[in-house]
């Protein structure tokens, strides 16, 4: 997203495509604000790393006495990222005399973070209850809205719902339910009004518009993560691929080879050779320090990822140690129909709930994950089978069609394994043309 252009997606925008949700029963009470050490008191899970870093940036540039006099106190402990992770978005309530009077909207773009005003009355009331009311139940779900045939016009939105119970002063009340929806940022439109950390609503240094503030240690983007795997000073997977996996594909008609990648808390990377197999599957280690893996496909299978491979990526991401969050990737080494060795990679690129949407699809209710994997593999296999009948099969396009509009990214290494390119299709249509954008 360009730092000079933003717009908020209108909440009236088209109907929902799909959703997932989780419900919690809990009691929630307010406590004093903190401007020194952030400790989340939100009844939902938040991107605490982003909120902590944003607080550090704000306090570094703020004139707190003047800001508090002009706007009110920032209740950082009640900040909410509304389902958005990856260190990119949060709302922080600003309170005067026990009333939420304004919100600070924080947005990260690359290595810059921006602070904006937000005065939506319903959203202010939502935060007022979140801080001061006896919440007895919460729910959260994500949904995809927009034009699903064009990825650029589809959006992921997050809805939060809470139920307020009775307090000691109103023991016989009827519980009240309220909800609010926040959608991801897009990079067109006019940015909102900046919120000035020094407390001068008319002064410079708001962090909005074209200025922003330096954000400490921004997370790697997908291309950076991809290229780190082949960087000789980092994971350096090229020698294992060209010096071992190519030979294994040449000499094994049906088996698979693999490598497990581990990274410790200080960034040291270890490559572990997986036991090879005589069949077209291989065990992939997940959990703890394991954050990525490489595997081959034999010549008697399609030269592209299966849906079971996507599930492996999900396991790498969900089971990784906290310090490896967002670092997962799964690599495929194979030989295409022209006898050329290819190296592909998949990763979760951004916010999204693709896997949960699949698991919670009404057609899959009551099914085990293994049954869902089999069903999805059969669906993708039918597309690959149709491609195989063509004079020029395009398995890349078939994979991208099945996963269009999701947070699954497909990348392809160049022939000498010195860089990756991102593969995309512009619309979810048969025979969609695959475009390639170089990561270098």
List, for residues 104-151, the tens digit of each pLDDT value: 999 998 889 999 999 999 999 999 999 999 999 998 887 777 655 555
pLDDT in tens, 20-34: 344 444 434 455 555
B/e letters for 295-307, b = 16+ CB within 10 Å, e = fewer, are: bbbbbebbbbbbb
pLDDT at 175: 87
pLDDT at position 35, please? 60
Mean pLDDT, range 208-220, rounded to an integer: 78
CA dihedral 123, 124, 125, 129 (to 10 degrees): 100
Which pLDDT score, from 0 to 100, does residue 27 have? 39
Cα 382 to Cα 398: distance, rounded to the nearest angstrom? 10
Look up tokens 């773009």; give the residue: 109
Predicted confidence band at 152 (pLDDT cuts at 50, 70, 90)?
low
Which stretch of 29-38, 109-118, 244-253, 418-427 has the lowest confidence by average pLDDT? 29-38
Looking at the DSSP bridge assignments, the partners of residue 96 are 99
Q: How high is the mean pLDDT of the chain?
A: 86
Q: What is the structure's pLDDT at 237?
A: 96
Residue 405 and residue 410: Cα distance in Å, rounded?
Answer: 12
Inter-residue contact 424 to 409 (CB < 8 Å): no
Q: In the beta sheet, which residues pair with residue 294? A: 259, 331
pLDDT at 200 over 60: yes
CB-based contacts of 52, cutoff 8 Å, min separation 6:
38
**For the sheet containing 269-274, what is the strand order?**
269-274, 258-263, 290-296, 329-335, 341-348, 408-413, 420-425, 434-438
Does position 10 have pLDDT exceeding 90, yes or no?
A: no
Residue 196 near residue 172 (C-beta atoms within 8 A)? no
Please state, in angstroms and rounded to a whole number, the distance separating the CA atoms of residues 274 and 295: 9
Residue with tokens 């000079």: 4
| Unique residue bearing structure tokens 């009333």 | 99
Reply yes or no on whether the pLDDT at 265 is more than 70: yes
Give the mean model confidence (pLDDT) for residues 402-411.
90
Q: Classify burial at 263, counting beta carbons within 10 Å of its beta carbon; exposed 0-12, middle 13-18, buried 19 or more.
A: buried
Which DSSP helix (H) or strand (E) runs through 376?
helix 369-388
Interhelix angle 307-319/369-388, nearest 10 degrees:
140
78: pLDDT strictly greater than 50: yes
Q: How many residues make up the chain in this entry?
A: 440
* Among the ranges given (160-169, 331-340, 362-371, 373-382), the one the predictor scored with the smallest mean pLDDT: 160-169
| DSSP designation for 207 | S
pLDDT at 376 (0 to 100): 97
Which is more confident, 422 or 2? 422
């Amino acid at each position: 997203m360009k730092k000079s252009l933003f717009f908020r997606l209108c909440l009236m925008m088209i109907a929902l495509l799909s959703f997932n949700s989780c419900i919690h029963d809990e009691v929630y009470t307010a406590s004093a604000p903190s401007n020194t050490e952030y400790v989340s008191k939100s009844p939902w899970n938040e991107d605490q790393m982003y909120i902590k870093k944003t607080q550090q940036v704000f306090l570094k540039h703020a004139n707190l006495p003047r800001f508090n006099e002009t706007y009110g106190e920032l209740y950082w402990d009640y900040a909410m990222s509304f389902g958005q992770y990856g260190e990119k978005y949060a709302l922080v309530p600003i309170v005067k005399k026990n009333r939420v009077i304004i919100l600070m909207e924080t947005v990260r773009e690359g290595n810059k973070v921006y602070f904006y005003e937000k005065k939506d009355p319903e959203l202010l009331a939502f935060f007022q209850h979140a801080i001061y009311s006896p919440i007895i139940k919460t729910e959260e779900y994500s949904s995809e809205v927009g034009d699903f045939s064009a990825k650029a016009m589809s959006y992921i939105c997050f809805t939060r719902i809470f139920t307020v119970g009775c307090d000691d002063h109103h023991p016989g009340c009827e519980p009240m339910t309220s909800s609010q929806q926040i959608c991801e940022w897009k990079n067109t439109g006019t940015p909102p009004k900046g919120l000035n950390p020094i407390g001068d609503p008319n002064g410079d240094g708001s962090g909005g518009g074209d200025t922003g503030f330096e954000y400490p240690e921004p997370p790697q983007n997908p291309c950076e993560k991809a290229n780190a795997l082949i960087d000789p000073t980092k994971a350096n997977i090229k020698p294992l691929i060209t010096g071992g996996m190519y030979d294994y594909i040449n000499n094994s008609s049906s088996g698979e080879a693999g490598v497990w990648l581990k990274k410790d808390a200080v960034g040291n990377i270890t490559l572990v050779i997986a036991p090879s197999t005589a069949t077209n599957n291989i065990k992939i280690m997940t959990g703890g320090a394991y954050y990525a893996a490489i595997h081959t496909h034999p010549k008697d299978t399609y030269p592209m990822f299966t849906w079971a491979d996507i599930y492996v990526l999900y396991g790498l991401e969900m089971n990784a140690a906290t310090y490896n969050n967002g670092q997962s990737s799964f690599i495929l080494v194979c030989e295409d129909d022209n006898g050329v060795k290819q190296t592909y990679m998949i990763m979760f690129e951004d916010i999204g709930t693709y896997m949960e949407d699949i698991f919670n699809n009404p057609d899959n209710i009551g099914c085990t994950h293994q049954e869902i994997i089999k069903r999805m593999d059969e669906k993708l296999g039918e597309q690959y089978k149709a491609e195989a009948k063509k004079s020029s099969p395009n398995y890349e396009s078939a994979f991208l069609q099945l996963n269009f509009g999701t947070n699954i990214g497909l990348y392809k290494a160049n022939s000498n394994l010195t860089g990756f390119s991102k593969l995309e299709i512009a619309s979810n249509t048969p025979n969609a043309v695959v475009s390639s954008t170089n990561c270098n």
